[in-house]
Amino acid sequence: MAAEQALAVDTRWAQGYGPIRHSSATQKLVHELAERLVAAELLPDAGQVYSVLAAADRIACAAMWLVVHATYARRVYLDGRALSQDDFKRDPQGHTGGSLNMVPAYVGYLGPPGGDRGPRRPPLPGGAHRRLRRGLAP
């Protein structure tokens, strides 16, 4: 990847996505990490680091959107239409704040495809894996 393309990808990631923002300190640490990965010949260029991070931001943003909608709405419309009053739950339940904090961590845990950790089967949060094993809905 040419230096100009890598800079464009770096800039796209640095801008964040949706509610996700990256502080100057985070950007500096990630830049240093990208340089070390390239110097160690683990990646061909820094642009790949920023591309993966930009994709992770988008996945995390979509997952956070779904967490909020799962808490407050009975239906989710992927076409962007507005929710009506009937679409909202009468008594929303859940731990939305904790779930929103968990989403970016979970996206980071899953990591980029083809990483050196091999295939992973992450645990489901809240003991859902045990309920699924017993045939109960999560």
> Mean pLDDT across the stretch 103-127?
65
Kindly report, residue by residue over 15-39, the tens digit of the pLDDT. Answer: 999 999 999 999 999 999 989 989 9
Burial category of 77 from C-beta neighbours within 10 Å (exposed 0-12, middle 13-18, buried 19 and up): exposed
The pLDDT assigned to 109 comes to 82
pLDDT tens digits for 66-108?
999 889 999 888 898 999 999 999 998 878 888 898 999 888 8
What are the extents of the domains in the chain? 3-111
Secondary structure class of 51 (helix, strand, coil): helix
Q: For the chain, give the percent of residues with pLDDT over 90.
A: 37
Rounded Cα–Cα distance for residues 10 and 26 (Å)? 12
Mean pLDDT throughout 12-16? 91
Q: Between 132 and 102, whose confidence is greater? A: 102
> From the DSSP assignment, how many helices (H) and strands (E) are in the chain?
5, 0
Tell me, what's the pLDDT at 32? 92
- What's the mean per-residue pLDDT of the chain? 80
43 neighbors 49 (Cβ within 8 angstroms): yes
